[in-house]
């Protein structure tokens, strides 16, 4: 059986996290949507009805939205807020989001108990 997710490290804070591999619906999902729409057609009209296409389209669109949303939400790091896809498109906006995430964490009193990010230590060189 194929793995559903990959374990990787955040490019910004180096913390380990899990990212879903699946980006879009597969043939299996489409087949299950067809089966579900056929069953729904039997429940509603007690026969195969051409209107089951509507159920099928709704099921496939819902499945695609769910899979894409799940994948997209797993890409951004939960610990530092770094989003590599956003970083490729708009690096300034990605940096702004990370700053906002850390600002939010600094204001949250419960974040004292959270493990710190594994950011690289910056050492100033004396001139």
Q: Are 117 and 80 in contact (CB under 8 A)?
A: yes
CB of 71 to Zn ion, least distance (A): 17
Q: Select from 77, 86, 94, 98 the one that contacts Zn ion (CB under 5 A).
A: 77
Backbone angles phi, psi at 82, to 5 degrees: -75, 130
Nearer to Zn ion, 58 or 84 (CB): 84
CB 45, min distance to Zn ion, A: 51
Does 94 interact with Zn ion (rule: CB under 5 A)? no
* Closest C-alpha to 19, from 4, 5, 35: 5
Q: Does 10 bind Zn ion (CB under 5 A)?
A: yes
What is the distance between the alpha carbons of residues 56 and 59, in angstroms, rounded to a whole number?
5
Q: Which residues bind Zn ion (CB under 5 A)?
A: 10, 12-13, 77, 79-80, 82
């Amino acid at each position: 059986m194929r793995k559903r997710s990959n374990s990787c490290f955040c490019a910004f804070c180096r913390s380990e996290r899990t990212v879903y591999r699946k980006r879009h619906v597969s043939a299996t999902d489409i087949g299950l949507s067809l089966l579900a729409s056929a069953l729904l057609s039997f429940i509603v009209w007690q026969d195969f009805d051409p209107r089951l296409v509507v159920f099928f389209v709704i099921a496939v669109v819902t499945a695609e939205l769910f899979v894409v949303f799940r994948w997209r939400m797993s890409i951004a790091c939960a610990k530092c807020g770094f989003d590599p896809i956003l970083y490729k498109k708009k690096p300034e906006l990605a940096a702004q989001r990370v700053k906002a995430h850390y600002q939010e964490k600094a204001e949250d009193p419960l974040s004292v108990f959270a493990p710190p990010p594994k950011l690289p230590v910056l050492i100033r060189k004396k001139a």
